[in-house]
Structure 1
Amino acid sequence: MITTSRPFLGLLVFAAGCAQAAEWRGLVDVRAVDSDASRSFLDSGMGKTRYDANSPRLSIGQAVLHGDADITDSISGTLELSADQQHRGIVDVREAWLAWSPVPAGAWKTRVKAGFFFPPTSVEIDYDSLGWVPKHTISSSAINSWIGEELRTNGVEWSARRLGRYVDAPYDVGVVAAVFNGNDPTGTLLAWRGWSISDRIAGRFDTVKLPDLPVYRSDGAIPRQWRDIHPFREVDGRLGYYAGANFNVGTRLELAALHYDNLADPMAVKDGQYSWRTRFDHVSAVWRPQGQWELAIQTMRGDTLMGPNAVALDFQSWFALASHPLGGGTAAIRYDHFRTRGHDILPADPNDENGYGVALAYDWPLSDSLSLMSEALLVRSDRSARRLLAELPQQTERSFTVSLRWRF
């Protein structure tokens, strides 16, 4: 049974009360897919991509309804609902938050944000657009695929930004900090299923089913662990935090760094969900030189721990993306590299992984509200745990996807 925290329930009720005053926008994404991938992680498999060889050729990639409301001159609210054919709850809450943005008295602009929302951890996502979707590709990088499924801020975030134009400086600087609850199972999917390269985003009440590995079967070493994972659950009653900084020179150069730690108690377990102590650092850069090129790079390194060293994992990933206008649209290429290394007390539960992915994409605007995007994706990975499911540890997965996106 899924429970809703009182603050989040109150936020939803408040947002519903403001619904008539909100400005509503939407996104419908229809997909055509051809894939030779093995059983997808969304079907409890070890595949790295959202679609596999048995996926429907035509589907709704996602449908998003996004509402913004100005409650006062300085307080606003946002509610985003989402649905797709592979979502167990069909319609779910992707984000719901209130923001207080007081009128700046000087160079510093501040904002306080409270609710359920994405942390500021991505350079390939357009935060001003709908649905937390990548700007230049259909799939997200491995880093942002993981964030989309297992990470969300359920708490309060404070940010401040010094605008250079007020102090005759050619650059802006900013800082951000947050405290949150929930996110205690964060790390579960990364440890037992591994990295993925996908655009599938979890909702507030979503569940994801793990592969049928021996370690958490009824006769396994960790029988209290369920295969159904609720990524945003609160298990141990502790608060987590993140803090970061950013720097930009106009739109030419953007730099950012962030440290995340959920401060979870790895010995806590509740309703089949363990609390995983997960922490990471990430840094990113976006450079837009002359000639309309955009070059982006992001790297992440961290670790996660569950139980008395029952599962202990170091993880890292990075990607580089380049895009440039071509013809009537924009072409992009992205290279991903990902890796995990286990160092726990259960050698019969291997969680090591190496892999990389290459995505080639082209976005073609058809009108102000309609666009057509195509993507060829290749993912090659080596994961020893596949042997436990009678699969080859090394796999190469390919897919070609065409996405017709209607924004209204």
Structure 2
Amino acid sequence: MKREISSRYLSLVTLCVVGGTVSVQAQSDIDASLHGLVNARLSFADSERSIFDGGFGKLRYGGDGENGNERFRIAEIALVGRLKFGDGFTLHGHIQHNPDQSSEVDIVEVYLRYKPVQLRQWQYSVRAGAFFPPVSFENEGLAWGNKYTITNSAANTWIAEEIRPIGAEFTAEYKGETLNAEIQATIFGGNDRAGDALGFRGFTLNDSKIGLLGDLPIADIEGVRSDRVNRPFVETDARPGFALGVNLTRPGLGEIRLYGYDNRANSRQVGSEGRLWEARFINITAKPELPDDWTIIGQFQFGETKVQPTEDEGSFFGTNFTTGSLLVAKEFGRVQLASRIEFFDQNDPSTIATTPPLAEDGWALTTAIKYRASKHHIVSAEYLYTSSDRAGGFENTPISQRENLLQINYQFRF
């Protein structure tokens, strides 16, 4: 059911019932909408234990360490609401139920945006709250869903797990005849432990979004991590982080996004949830404009995570990380085919010996088919293969993994 309230005065109310769908429209200075989705998932996985079961598997679903696993479950329930009011104000909220999280219901995004009507080339807006950074052309669907595959890339999986600026973002937008440009400047907090899971556990590939109250599972690393969780969205050192983004769009050519992030965490400090991690990265994403319903998206991300447990700046442990992906998709009416190949890598420049070492490298291939039966019903199937080698895992020994995952997903949208 969808309810919409729009326009200027409460003078006209129309009630329509069509095929069991009720729509309420009224004239007012308020415009409210509520949308949602339910993802029901059938999965067939190899024996590697996933991170959600305490393992080092790279994928959302896995086995018990010795045998594969088949399971059917509700993978996600999400609600996304928007309330427009006044002269350019929009309140956005996104809540979810994720069975892999400790919180039954959690907040993924919540922010207030102000963008008044501006009839000029330069336009301005600001939003304040908790929001995803503008880094992905793939995750532009409802509830930060992927428009092409079930599983997100390694880069966007990490964004959904540990990166959620909680602060204010100012955007200046230029609308020209041949070029549109946006510049975003963000000051934020609440990301003091971003990079903890990436450093200790490495990259993963899944579609799970960590809520603001949730925690991220990490494998039980002998002598290092016994709590097995990271709560990434905390503020301990009272030092704001900064981010800067640039979006360029040329009609007929395409779009490119550049985004730089630095949480400026005091990595010498230990908070209530554990030691703080200094994390910074640069993300570059390009989407050329192509004919005949073809889509190509390239994404490249590199950065570092670091902990400095003493005043000696030369004594630290952490990783330098890099990941890149190329997605190709094609529309055939209601059917969409998509394939993405990607790599991920971490090297360990630590001057303090870590047990186990934090280095890893790997690659993955994802192939998906999506059928849009109607605006409310979408069926997808996906095969995902990943190969990875990590310097240390269980009992501090190197691990090599070759994982296969077949997923069939039914999505109901409203």
TM-score, normalization by structure 2: 0.87
Q: Distance in 1 between matches of 2:346 and 2:253?
A: 34
1:46 partner amino acid:
F
- Match for residue 406 of structure 1 among 405, 408, 412: 412
Shift of 1:84: 1.9
- The equivalences for 1:252-331 within 5 A come to 252-308=253-309, 309-326=315-332, 328-331=334-337
Q: How far apart, in 2, do the equivalents of 1:198 and 1:234 lie? A: 26
The residue type paired with residue 143 of structure 1 is A
Matched, 1:124 2:138: yes
Q: Which residue of 2 aligns with 1:44?
A: 54
Across the two proteins, how many residue pairs are aligned to each other?
A: 375
Matched, 1:380 2:387: yes
Which residue of 1 is the match for residue 346 of structure 2? 340
Q: Does 1:158 align with 2:170?
A: yes
Matched, 1:72 2:86: yes
1:189 is paired with a residue whose SS is helix
2:253 and 2:38 mapped to 1: Cα distance? 32
Q: Distance in 2 between matches of 1:291 and 1:21?
A: 35
Measure the CA separation in 1 of the matches of 2:217 and 2:223.
14
Runs of at least 5 residues in structure 1 that lack an aligned partner in the other structure: 1-19, 219-225
Aligned sequence identity (%)? 30
Corresponding residue of 2:6 = none
5 Å-filtered alignment, 1:381-396, equals 381-388=388-395, 393-396=399-402
The 5 Å alignment of 1:2-401 reads 22-54=32-64, 57-126=71-140, 129-164=141-176, 169-216=177-224, 226-250=227-251, 252-308=253-309, 309-326=315-332, 328-344=334-350, 345-388=352-395, 393-401=399-407
Report if the CA contact (8 A) 1:34-1:53 is conserved. no
* Equivalent residue, structure 1, for 2:5: none
**Greater strand percent: which structure?**
2
Q: Give the secondary structure class of the aligned counterpart of 2:77.
A: strand
State the one-letter code of the partner of 1:60.
I
Conserved? CA contact 1:37–1:47, under 8 Å = no
Question: 2:20 aligns to what?
Answer: none
**Counterpart-to-counterpart distance in 2, 1:215 and 1:154:** 33
Q: Residues of 2 paired with 1:106 and 1:326: CA distance?
A: 38
TM-score, length basis structure 1: 0.88
- In 2, the alpha carbon distance for the partners of 1:29 and 1:279 equals 33
2: CA distance, partners of 1:383 / 1:342: 11
Give the secondary structure class of the aligned counterpart of 1:343.
coil
CA radius of gyration, larger in: 2
SS in 1 for 2:142: coil
For 1:44 and 1:192, the matched residues in 2 are separated by 13
Measure the CA separation in 2 of the matches of 1:268 and 1:49: 32
Distance 1:45 1:22 in 2: 43
Gaps spanning 5+ residues in structure 2: where?
Answer: 1-29, 310-314
Shift of 1:252: 4.3
Residues 57-80 of structure 1: per-residue CA shift (max 9 Å, x gap)? 111111101110012121110111
Structure 1 runs of 4+ with >3 Å offset: none
Bigger shift: residues 267-276 or 143-152: 267-276
> Quick one: which amino acid aligns to residue 360 of structure 1?
T
Q: 1:315-341 CA deviation, whole Å, 9 max, x = no partner?
A: 010000000013640100001100001
Within 1, Cα distance between the matches of 2:366 and 2:90?
37
Are the equivalent residues in 2 in contact too, given 1:37–1:51 (CA < 8 A)? no
Shift of 1:105: 4.0
Q: C-alpha separation between the residues in 2 aligned to 1:305 and 1:215?
A: 19
SS in 1 for 2:143: coil
Following superposition, the deviation at residue 42 of structure 1 comes to 1.3
8 Å Cα contact 1:265-1:277 kept in structure 2: yes
Shift in Å, 1:251: 6.4
CA distance in 2, matches of 1:37, 1:136: 27
Rounded Cα–Cα distance in structure 1 between residues aligned with 2:399 and 2:61: 19
Q: Which amino acid aligns with 1:106?
A: R
> Whole-Å Cα distance in 1 between the matches of residues 378 and 154 of structure 2?
24
